Amino acid sequence: MKRLLVGLLGVSLMMGCSSQSSKPAEKPQPKPPEFVTGRTAFQKIFVAARGWNRDAQPYRLESQTTADSDGKDGKSGVWNGWFGSPSTHSGKRYTWSGSGAPDAPDRGVSFGSDDSFNPSNSSTHVFDIAFLKKDSDEALAVAQKHGGDKVLAKDANTHVFYALDWSSASNELVWHVIYGPSKDQIRLNVAVNASSGEFIRVDK
1 found inside a domain: no
SS (H, E, C) the chain: CHHHHHHHHHHHHHHHHHHHHCCCCCCCCCCCCCCECHHHHHHHHHHHHHHHCCCCEEEEEEEECECCECCCCCCECEEEEEEEECCCCEEEEEEEECCCCCCCCCCEEEECCCEECCCCCHHHCCCCHHHCCCCHHHHHHHHHHHHHHHHHHHCCCCEEEEEEEEECCCCEEEEEEEEECECCECCEEEEEECCCCCEEEEEC
Q: Domain of 63?
A: 38-203
94 found inside a domain: yes
- How high is the mean pLDDT in each 10-residue block of the chain (204 residues)? 42 47 62 94 97 96 95 96 96 97 95 93 93 98 98 95 96 97 92 98 88
8 found inside a domain: no
Q: Can you give the pLDDT at residue 184?
A: 85
Q: Can you give the pLDDT at residue 26?
A: 67
Q: Can you give the pLDDT at residue 198?
A: 98
184 found inside a domain: yes
23 found inside a domain: no
Q: Can you give the pLDDT at residue 44?
A: 95
Q: Can you give the pLDDT at residue 6?
A: 39
22 found inside a domain: no
Q: Can you give the pLDDT at residue 13?
A: 41
28 found inside a domain: no
How far apart CA 80 and CA 72 sit, in angstroms, is 18
Q: State the total domains in the chain.
A: 1
3 found inside a domain: no
